[in-house]
Chain A
């Protein structure tokens, strides 16, 4: 027999071999369940945990990133022991002078700082927390941070609003509006049933993980059709039936024209799901002359019942709600700040009539001029969408008959955040509503909730609220309840009513603004000082933020930074203490599994899974939970911390009255294993009502524990029907009222720099030319847009996204098989016009920054667009700093002008490109040439000028 048998793990007698279960949650599509083979203490190989293949909606398999975890563990560039800074001067060009210290010394330094801050008071003179903390995107760090949330809960006020590239840089509008409209923090197609997906830029094949790719491939193989609309041919476009190259940031025009085609040209009564529109949306709500719902004396919105020709409150028996026309009705409108307009026999229209009038202007020809998508294509896409919608069909799911509408629409990053995000989200959700394809089998679904309660159940969050819609807690905008003095630096409660006030809201507020405000004090706004202590965990804002170089400069101003550390990087370069945590295979944690969650994780099961410590830490690192327990001791909040753990802050409650009590005893600092042992017992009791109680050793052996999760709970439609609720579409009365109240509040305190954002609060969104926002931004720097003729965009890399894997050569080797990773992608013909050939080093320059990398010439990209995949431009992270990769984050800017009303911006900017060999002809950056704004850096010129 040939020696090829030596490929896989070999068994030799005397070896100590074990297989240890763990999970990979490097991206939001996790967890992927795995087992690692450990021989004589060395993690040699890992593989999928196929035990779960029947229950797992992705066959139990692993994503490419998971296979890098062993290399990640043994990375020789890891910081292998605590370190402290010896150079008090901070700056990119300053050597921090890190020297190794013992854990004891590290805890003393940190503890002294904690005690100092607690003695001074938890909030500073500006009302902002002295302690701040940032973590990486998508909630993935939570799956590794052990008991850290319990410490944060026990501490008191903490500013978690310093953005690090998540939240506002994510699917921000979708998160907020999606959650408001259909409990969809993330939107996904009902892929096992869908037959037609219209995808505006969502890079599904790069972001939806094992389950997403598994489900989408099955859908393709059975004949589902996907049309992908994006300026470049991403891997998702590549695997779609059709790629429609659209001008960047004009997706709203394209979607508006689809609505026009459906309701105006094809005729809504002919093709739409009329009963759904009449009974499941606010289409028939009557709108008064000031734009608010007409209400009866009880405050109930009114609907015109054409059956007997009179207006009735929404909870009355209504046979035939009128959708079109004008009716004479009496009642009142409720405006901002409880302003009431009383009306007698006044002409009012159903909101659907207003929709028809509003959308009449958005013809396919108009959209073609704006988006450069041919009108014929728009009409065809709309017609295909209609043809696939199966209006009128039903399907049986677990004994219940539900509508069957196998059409879905997805939106991608940069399409659904920043300016235009509201418009695209609204149009997308409206397109689903028109076909009755929202939250029904085959249609457009939400996956998880993060802003409403209860957090663990989408269906459970379908709770009746105002005006026949689901309950939604806007941040108050009334005179007495408005958060006049922002409680954290990004002021989400003050500026963004829609972001609500859940544990996720701080990260989803305008989290880039603290960096800006630290440099430029806005008018009539509380002073903005850096936090006394900033903790960063699994995040690198010096790379992953817009205008990353300037964010790094702001970090240099932070007085004390505690960095939980893997390798040296561009953020912990500014840290005072480096605390190396034990990573994936070296520590233990128990997390939730299954149910429904992003991206396409729709399970028939739910339960818990473990990341069991498989090997001894490679260096002198420490389990995160043990670090945090020591933090609590040093801060003098041990009991509060234990109480938070017992209350469920680390995953699940350890005790429930009259049920079980696995709570940790007060006063005794718990070790990590004890926490998870108790947690294992608590969750297993909870899942089985005490029939099976399993400890940590059991989970170490079995890896996970599941119980059934009903497929009917993938859809909130049944709950909506049962509770008689309607989707809050198309008309945005509540939201607009909050916006107008906010306008009054801000004007009361003299804030005039949020006015553009306030104009975005509209009952139905009006299209504006969104690309112009960025070309106008160029003009603000006294430059002509023609000088920056390219739209610079970014795209997710499946191999790199989220994992903090830029330092892994193995991941790089994988990524390089996919075109575009090595540099900036540019249209081949256009590049050659500029004399640029493959691999030429080129400079990409915006008005505020430059980045460099090799040119990658492709046909699958618009001639006016360039693409930089992932987030690179590293200057400190070992290995990554030598990759010579450009990054969009080096040329984008943080600015109020580029911030929308929800507080998010977008990954797009205008750039020029030239060969690096022509650098000698280079002019100074526009921002540097601009005289008075020379020091703006994170520049918003109008803001900078207003501040002067």
Chain B
């Protein structure tokens, strides 16, 4: 007679090692694609244990179809945080809220996170979300008493993701349980999986089930090429059994360009919404301001930009930079914690950007009051540093293919400088026009270099050419750089207007300004440079920013038509080996 009870079993090597104080585990998962049936029990078990809000799924199973009728394959792929050995989300975090523990778990500290979303755009696995307000499952009704009891308000406005149920793991260990063996100490998805597709365990323990499975079977790691070394390993084939040898072959996934351009395809990344127009404004205003301030300093050094002009110009640039930063402030989820973003100087370019701001500010203010060359130098160098930080922030966001390409930092810097040149020219032209009027201003320009404005326009022409070349390279190498079709479509759509406004019109305007000479040319060229910069940055950051998406490079050999498993006819030796062994 048996009944509900638990019996104590003798300790296995895995249990013993797990509780050895000198052993640091490396927690990870195997997910057997051949076992998974897409039932979503893991999805709901995760939601249930972790009390995630409606439509937030730390763990889920996507339904993938490949091929064309009748040669079709359909697979189910469990996705979520991969607890990478080299997690791109950790170094970018400006607050340290996202951390990696010694046992490999990538965790979140909801009390520290400011909800900037940098980790979310840095994750190539679409594992992170930010919820800004609590709403229950039943629209138009209050939260149910259970929702009231379990929803965690600390998780609002901050990044959240799968923790491998770190609480179950830690509490379980504290109770002497073994993760991966005892359900209570195992992530909810794995403990719930009714196909035994999701296994959890210690990759540093050679006897753990995950170690054995990955030693015995072939597996892939998603987006391995990004160097993240994900700790979810996907098993994709069946063990060899008598008569089955021919069938362990797998069909490589050849996802067509058309399939990758289909927004319905679950492999295709969605457009990120973490950084919207408000975030883009930081790159627009910040890039413009920093580029302008740096270039103005150069003109001060190299040409005849007067110190008072530089001082006030820097002051204006600083104001623009503040506008950009204010937009970012509007975007973050936990505004009152914004100061925490200064705590990860050692790794995060976002923190570094923030450090540059007061230095720049100090330089600007000091310059304003002292007109001292050192103050100007501080402001100028800080401006360039700010621009560099901006470039690196996008480049380090590994989750967005069109941001992380190596051209991106160069484009940000080149554009910032071009915009800066544009602002100098436009501001100079307006200033001259206001002081002297249009005709006198034109005559003045004919007579002399004025505050370096001509040098700025000349630099602008060069920078416009450089920007045009960079953009052309960016666009034409996009496919080979892994920028997805949906993203490329958006980029291509903006290309002609960008070339016309941001490059041709700039060159024409500046050329007219220089050679007519005409204030209007400086003004038009300058504004076009700013408009062009804003146009592509806004496009790249907001509209073309499709996430990495998912990948299934290997699949079990099954499906229909040419994708079906091969026949097994002769030579089938009867029952599987383990069945014979059991007899």
Contact = CB atoms under 8 A, between A and B. Distances in A.
Interface of A: 1-8, 21, 39, 42-53, 55, 58-59, 61-64, 67-68, 70-71, 73-77, 193, 195-196, 205, 210, 213-214, 216-218, 220-223, 225, 233, 235, 237-245, 380, 383-384, 387-388, 390, 393, 395-396, 404, 406, 442, 605, 687-688, 692, 701-707, 798-799, 808-810, 813-815, 817-819, 827-829, 838, 857-863, 879
Contacts of B54: 809-810, 813
B154 A6 contact: yes
A385 to B, nearest CB: 10
Nearest to A70: B146
9 contacts: A8-B49, A62-B41, A233-B74, A242-B565, A243-B560, A687-B1, A705-B1, A799-B39, A860-B72
B567 A704 contact: no
A854 B582 CA distance: 52
Contacts of B574: 195, 390, 393, 404, 406
Contacts of A7: 49-51, 152, 163, 165-168
Nearest to B182: A50
Interface string B24-56: 000000001011011111011101111100110
B85 interface: no
A28 to B, nearest CB: 16
Chain B interface extent, by class: 35 or more
B138 A77 contact: yes
Nearest to B245: A223
Contacts of A62: 41, 45, 192, 194
Interface in B166-189: 166-168, 170-171, 183-184
Contacts of B110: 2-4, 6
Given A3-B154, A860-B74, 18 more contacts: A2-B107, A43-B146, A51-B6, A195-B575, A213-B195, A217-B195, A217-B196, A222-B578, A225-B568, A235-B76, A238-B37, A239-B37, A387-B569, A387-B572, A396-B583, A442-B575, A859-B68, A879-B138
Contact of B3 (A235, A243, A244, A702): A702
Nearest to B110: A3
Given A50-B183, A396-B583, A827 B69 contact: yes
Nearest to A799: B40
Given A6-B167, A44-B149, A53-B183, A692 B39 contact: no
A241 B63 contact: no
A218 B579 CA distance: 12
B75 to A, nearest CB: 7
Contacts of A388: 568, 572
B254 interface: no
B2 A55 contact: yes
A380 B567 contact: yes
A677 B41 CA distance: 34
Given A814-B40, A859-B69, A605 B48 contact: no
A244 B570 contact: no
Nearest to B74: A238
B99 interface: yes
Contact of A221 (B192, B239, B564): B239
B111 interface: yes
Interface string B69-101: 110111110000000000000000000000100
A196 B61 CA distance: 27
A341 B39 CA distance: 59
Interface string B136-175: 0111011011110110101000000001011110110000
A810 B578 contact: no
Contacts of B193: 61
B466 interface: no
A64 to B, nearest CB: 4
B109 interface: yes
B576 A222 contact: yes
When A and B form their complex, which 9 residue pairs have the shortest distance between CB atoms, in order from nearest? A223-B241, A238-B74, A241-B565, A74-B144, A51-B4, A242-B564, A217-B195, A243-B560, A2-B109
Given A235-B38, A388-B572, A707-B1, A39 B239 contact: no
Interface in B95-122: 99, 107-111
Given A8-B165, A63-B194, A858-B65, A241 B558 contact: yes
B583 A395 contact: yes
A233 to B, nearest CB: 5
Contacts of A859: 65, 67-69, 72
Contacts of A808: 137
Given A45-B49, A404-B575, A51 B5 contact: yes
Nearest to A41: B145
Nearest to B565: A241
Contacts of B70: 245
A605 B2 CA distance: 9
B348 interface: no
Secondary structure dominating the interface of A: mixed
A321 B50 CA distance: 67
Contacts of B565: 225, 241-242
Given A8-B49, A238-B75, A838-B264, A214 B39 contact: no
B74 A223 contact: no
B35 A217 contact: yes
A657 B461 CA distance: 106
Contacts of B44: 64, 67-68, 810, 814
Nearest to B196: A217
B152 to A, nearest CB: 6
B238 interface: yes
A207 to B, nearest CB: 11
Nearest to B147: A74
A58 B264 contact: no
B196 A218 contact: yes
Contacts of B512: none
Contact of A706 (B2, B35, B146, B197): B2
B278 interface: no
B35 A220 contact: yes
B138 to A, nearest CB: 5
Contacts of B567: 380, 383-384
A396 B572 CA distance: 20
Q: Pick the most buried of B41, B55, B110: most chain A CB atoms within 10 A of its CB.
A: B41
Given A2-B99, A50-B183, A220 B238 contact: yes
Nearest to A71: B137
B62 interface: yes
B229 to A, nearest CB: 22
Contacts of A817: 38, 40, 43, 57, 60-63
A631 B241 CA distance: 60
B353 interface: no
B74 A237 contact: yes
Contacts of A242: 558-560, 564-565
A58 B240 CA distance: 24
Nearest to A827: B69
B191 interface: yes
Contact of A223 (B32, B167, B171, B239): B239
Nearest to B259: A859
A59 B191 CA distance: 10
Contacts of B352: none
Contact of A810 (B5, B47, B68, B154): B47
Contacts of B32: 221
Contacts of B209: none
A562 B5 CA distance: 42
A706 B5 CA distance: 12
A705 B3 contact: yes
Given A63-B41, A817-B43, A221 B34 contact: yes
A240 B563 CA distance: 12
A910 to B, nearest CB: 21
Contacts of A858: 65
Given A45-B150, A195-B575, A243-B72, A8 B168 contact: yes
B404 interface: no
Given A238-B74, A814-B43, A387 B568 contact: yes
B146 A74 contact: yes
